Structures are given as structure tokens and as C-alpha cells.
Amino acid sequence: MSYLTLSQFLEKQDGNLTPELSQVIETIANTCKTIDQALQKGALAGVLGSAEHENVQGETQKKLDVISNDYLIDALKIHPQVGGLASEELDEFTPAQENGKYLVLFDPLDGSSNIDINMCVGTIFSILPAKNAITQAEDFMQAGVNQVAAGYVLYGPSTMMALTVGAGVVFFTFDPETQEFLLTSESISVATDTKEYAINASNQRHWEAPVQRYIEELLAGKTGPREKDFNMRWVACMVGDIHRILCRSGIFMYPYDTKDPKKAGRLRLMYEANPMSMLMEQAGGASTTGRVRILDIQPTELHQRVPVIIGSKNEVNLVTQYHN
């Protein structure tokens, strides 16, 4: 069977694609191949374990967090079409090329707590239009609806890329023999109903009443108000959990909780919530904070956090209804 390569797919110029945007996406994909190689070597390359310092989020970095971040920064800051970069791992944005047409934001290695136990991790990316010839910090403060492309690379049993350029969602699978990302699924669609949910249940005592109510109804199963049984799945890697939903529907929740009332949410708007929300909506799903559509949020800071309720539309709408 013949498969389109990523390069061949990008030549089709669907959605927001331009030759310049295609070049940026290819650079991200090629860099993720390098990250994949580092992950495959694991302990053999001495890349496991802690880097023994914290990132801007106050989280202990893994060695591969730092390595992956450096790979992406080094590849993209010299790209002629990139005006600036922002990483979850760095406090400030990184200036790139004057007159670059795009801004790239990324989480270089989502789920990095899984690295040392050889579980799935991923890279998440978001691409915005540049606003000025010389990028300023405020240029990144764009609502998620402005994204021209978004996606992730999942480093799992096989390495896969999910991509949207505003014309639906497609999957590519990395072929280690040809070193190419090959188009393996088109027109990804998330069912409106589901029987699977993903949430970190250890935070249950801190959830707000609407989420408490929703989860109690799911746990009641066939004998409860939902009149059906639900299964819980939790990967502890947003890329893994969202990939599962894109493959077979479901709902993923990292809601607001009172564990740390000063934090508006756990997940980062610019690096996680926005790109995943674009993918989900393009696949027919929905994404809210529980109160508002995520893609409509006007960012006020580079590392802004938000609650995330994302997945099958009917379930997301129900949780949002309970909040409102």
C-alpha cells in the first residue's frame, strides 16, 4: 500500500497551509524525529532521570525535557519563517527571525514523569501568525481561534503525529525504515457520545461541586441517572489521553480545584489547552474550561493556566451545563 509522506500531504495546500507554514511544520516534524531517537536510546544514552533543577512552572525537569527543548529551540530559531518561539520550559519567549511569518509555541515533552518508566510521552505544538516584523512578547497574546496549525507527536509503541491546519485532523505514523511520517488516517472524527472518561481521581476532594456531581453520576453506572456504565482511563500524559479520545472518543478533564486556589487551572493555555482544543474541535469534539470555550480565551500572560474539559461533545456540554 502506498502512503503519502508528510511533505506530499503539505503540498496539497489545504486549510491554512502556505508554502511557508508547510516548511515550519516539516521542521517541527524533523526535530521530533531527533527527540524520538533520544527517547529510543533511553538509559543507553544516559538521558533518563532528573536534570536537578526546576522550570519556570516550578516543576522538576527531566534531562529529556531540557534536551527536547534545546532541539526545538535550535531548529526553529534559525528558521526564516519563524519570528519567535515560546516554550513551556522557558520563562521568556525566544526571538527568532526578523519578518518571520509565524510564532511557534510548544511543550517539548509532555508527560515527562513517564520517561523513567518507559511509558508514552509527547511533543505538543501550536502555530500562530506573527504580528510584527520584530516579535514582541505581546504578539503571542492571541486567542486560540487564531492558530493556523496545531498538533502533537506521540512517542509510543509507534511514533505518530496528529495535525490540523484548519481542515480537519489527520494522523501520520513514523516509518523507522524510511525515516518518514506517512499519512495513515484522514478525517479523524470524535463521536458525540462516549463511555470513557479520564481524570486524576486523586484530586477528587478538591473538585468543585459540578465536577463532583458529574463524576458521581458516571460512577453510578447503569443504576444511576446516566443509565450506562463508564470506564476510566488515565495515562498521566495529555498527549496519550487526547490521542485515545481522537481514536475512540471519550472525555478528558483537568478541572479547576481548590488544592492551590491561586492557580486558575493545572494546564497551560498556550502550550497545551489551545493546540489540543483546536485538534478536538476540528475532529468534531468540544473543549471548555467548564464555563467558557477555550479557543475564545484572550491570553494575558505567556504561562497562563486554565481548567480543561475536552472530548466528546455531548459529555463536554453536560459538564459545562453543570457549571453554568
User: Residue 304 class from Cβ within 10 Å (0-12 exposed, 13-18 middle, 19+ buried)?
Assistant: middle
Q: Can you tell me the distance from the alpha carbon of 74 to that of 43, in angstroms, rounded to the nearest whole number? A: 24
312 marked ligand binding residue: no
Q: Which of 295, 307, 260 is nearest to 143 (CA)?
A: 295
187 marked ligand binding residue: no
For the chain, the distance separating the N- and C-terminal CA atoms, rounded to the nearest angstrom, is 50
The C-alpha cell that represents 210 in the structure block: 459540578
Q: Can you tell me the distance from the alpha carbon of 3 to that of 183, in angstroms, rounded to the nearest whole number? A: 6
241 marked ligand binding residue: no
Q: CA-CA distances (angstroms) from residue 29 to 128, 163, 173, 250, 255?
A: 17, 10, 11, 27, 31
Residue 322 pairs with which residues in a beta bridge? none
107 marked ligand binding residue: yes
30 marked ligand binding residue: no
Listed in sequence order, the residues at least 6 apart from 230 whose beta carbon sits closer than 8 Å to its beta carbon are 195, 196, 197, 218, 219, 221
17 marked ligand binding residue: no
State CA 32 to chain mean position distance: 14
296 marked ligand binding residue: no
88 marked ligand binding residue: yes
Q: Which amino acid is at 231?
A: N
- To the nearest 10°, report the CA torsion of 162, 166, 168, 173: -20
272 marked ligand binding residue: yes
Binding-site residue ranges for Mg(2+): 88, 107, 109-110, 272
Residue set of the binding site for substrate: 110-113, 200
Enumerate the known binding-site residues.
88, 107, 109-113, 200, 272
